[in-house]
Amino acid sequence: MSEQPTTEKVEKKKVILSAIQPSGTITLGNYLGALRNWVKLQDDYNCIFAIADLHAITVRQDPQKFRQNILNAYALLLACGIDPEKSPVFIQSHVHTHAELAWLLNCYTQFGELSRMTQFKDKSQKYANNVNAGLFTYPILMAADILLYQADMVPVGADQKQHLELARNIADRFNSIYGKTFKSPEPYISRSGARVMSLQDPAKKMSKSDENVNSWVAVLDKPETVMKKFKRAVTDSDAVVKIGEGKDGINNLIGILSAVTGKTAEEIEFEFEGKGYGDFKTAVGEAVVEELKPIQNRFNDFINHKDYLEEQYKKGAEFALRISQRTLDKAMKKIGFIAK
């Protein structure tokens, strides 16, 4: 096995940092929209990946289930194609610098900035019985995650742009007071990421938080479950497999089939000319099953070799700590703390 990337190597290429929460479920939308592109980024950038478990506790977690979700998320990242020999993959809570820098950055973030975060407003309504301080300040922890590694770019979706802008504002503010300390990261927006919509309400994005389980497909769903969900997918009364206005359901299914097969929308339309929606939905389901099968096989292999997972997340954490400690020490020195 090769060595973990050295500090020197990380500084030669542009650095991209990506993190995912251990929610217990990664959807087809997460995979086609983000994770599959993360795999491709490893060839052109120095990528650092994290399981953002500290972020997950703004919502109450069952301890035993939470531990398993963290391990599952780690194994699933590897199963999707993240190579820990190319790109360090670590568990956020194993690297103490994240929480430490987050506290420092709390003191350089304005209350008004946090109060404008739309996700805080949304989650406050969803979890009205537990509107805790962490729910309010977690964008600062996200900023610490990014700034610790002097990330040049961060892959973001539309719902994360506001958080990245806050990280940039914090970095710029700190730098204006103390001199150059943090890189101000740019968004990395992939042109190839598929935007996968709900199978039951194709006007909105596929999300595991949707109460209707038939609206989303999990990467680890069994083949029969995947097929059932696609056969129940909402379409329209037109019965023509063709991209068009007012055909959100069919547009979504064509997009999914295109993403997993590499066929263009025009090729798909030609292939299913004269065929009904039943045949088409079955074909989409079968293509997704084939796409997910090797991921599921690799996941099962990884999750049954916990010693390998432990070896990798420990190596990842050691690497992450070396990089991030340097940034934290620099920031603390600039503020005026006495070095250890």
Q: Which domains does the chain have, with CATH numbers?
A: 7-193+305-335 (3.40.50.620), 213-298 (1.10.240.10)
Measured distance CA(73)–CA(50) in Å, rounded: 10
User: Is this model's pTM higher than 0.85 or not?
Assistant: yes
| Predicted pLDDT at 1 | 41
In whole angstroms, how far apart are CA 266 and each of 211, 271, 272?
A: 34, 9, 10
Of 13, 86, 183, 208, which is the active-site residue? 208
Annotated catalytic, 40? no
Measured distance CA(324)–CA(53) in Å, rounded: 17
pLDDT in tens, 233-285: 999 888 899 999 889 999 999 999 999 999 999 999 999 998 989 999 999 99
| Residues forming beta bridges with residue 90, ordered by sequence position | 50
| Predicted pLDDT at 316 | 97
Annotated catalytic, 231? no
DSSP letter at 155? E
Annotated catalytic, 333? no
| Dihedral of the alpha carbons of 27, 195, 122, 60, in degrees to the nearest 10 | 10
In whole angstroms, how far apart are CA 164 and each of 31, 55, 174, 259?
A: 21, 15, 15, 27
Biggest distance spanned by C-alpha atoms of the chain: 75
Measured distance CA(207)–CA(11) in Å, rounded: 36
* Residue whose C-alpha is closest to residue 79's, from 322, 293, 239: 293
Burial class (CB in 10 A: 0-12, 13-18, 19+), 107: exposed
pLDDT in tens, 11-68: 578 999 999 999 878 899 999 988 998 999 998 999 999 999 999 998 889 999 999 9
Q: Supply 57's token pair.
A: 């506790």
Of 9, 14, 40, 205, which is the active-site residue? 205
